[in-house]
Amino acid sequence: MPEKLGERPYICEMCTKCFARNDTLEKHLRTHTSEKPYVCEVCERAFAQIGHLRSHLSLHTGEKSFFCEICEKSFSRIDTLKKHTRIHTAEKPFICEVCKKCFTRSSDLKSHLRIHTGEKPYACEVCEKCFAHAGNLKTHMKIHTGEKSHVCDKCSKGYAHLSRLIIHLRTHTEEKPFVCDVCKKSFSRMSGLKTHMATHTSEKPHVCEVCTKSFAHTNYLKKHLRIHTAQKPYVCELCEKDFAHCDYLKSHMLTHMEDKPYVCEVCLKGFSQTSHLKSHMRIHTGEKPFVCEVCNKGFNHISHIRTHMRIHTGEKPYVCEVCEKGFSQIAHLKSHMTIHT
């Protein structure tokens, strides 16, 4: 006799889920045992359900009997067609219970849920770092293999990630898509815009423990600390001269280039950068555009006025690591260090 409507007498001993029919329970049990009794005769792939095997066989026959009525694209499986039609209908039946975001596919919902659960099931076999998505793991693996499949067509420089190549290309195109809403200044990277925005808020949470000077961004503090430590991590490979900042090294590298197209009309000295020529011209013109607001003394270069201002402020950022004596100029600290050596 058929079961009464709603009656489910067959219970799974593993998870206590109930079923109306015994054969349905048997199919369900395969989710716990991982049994796959239905095997494809062509490729020997196994399936838990006969229906799954039938759908799979269409991959070998090439048969695509399910057609989209809107765009006439054909599919080998009815469920694949149903997923496809959501592109046209914009239907998103899979809803996240946490944030109510909707998705067209159940697999997309599963991936999304890892944002809330923090689950990272894809682990790197080399360094054991874990990822929420298989695609992220594949991208990460290029760090270990050294693969750089994304190559710049301008300078042939290679990158492991497409996003890095896109950022690099802006050095050639000079594109700056990230624009400040306050002053309209533009940046090639989002990180540059975020750092810049701190200049409008006046917030400077990063404080130097040596002189208590504060900075809007942690990178600025790191650069500043080299004043106190006299650290110069950027070294020229040609002459071994070292620099505190990467930009200084880049400017210096141009001095090794034979090409010095910017020539002084007075003494014919050549320069690799137009800014260097402009600074040099002040020797001949006597121009001193940088004026001290305290004593009105003028200077050729902005670096000179910065050094001079320490006379008025009493700032001594260069500190001896041996006796902790402070100096206003790095040259004075170097001279002092000979006392200890």
Q: What tens digit of pLDDT does each residue of 213-239 get?
A: 888 778 888 888 888 887 888 888 878
pTM of the model: 0.36
Predicted confidence (pLDDT) per residue in 113-164, tens digit: 988 988 888 888 888 888 888 888 888 888 888 888 888 888 888 888 888 8
Query: Which residues fall within 8 angstroms of residue 13, CB to CB, at 6 or more apart?
Result: none
- Only one residue has tokens 């048969």, namely 63
Predicted confidence (pLDDT) per residue in 68-115, tens digit: 888 888 887 788 888 888 888 888 888 999 999 998 888 889 889 988
CATH topology of domain 206-315: Double Stranded RNA Binding Domain (3.30.160)
As given in the structure block, the two tokens for residue 274 are 């137009």
Neighbouring CB atoms inside 10 A of 165's CB total: 18
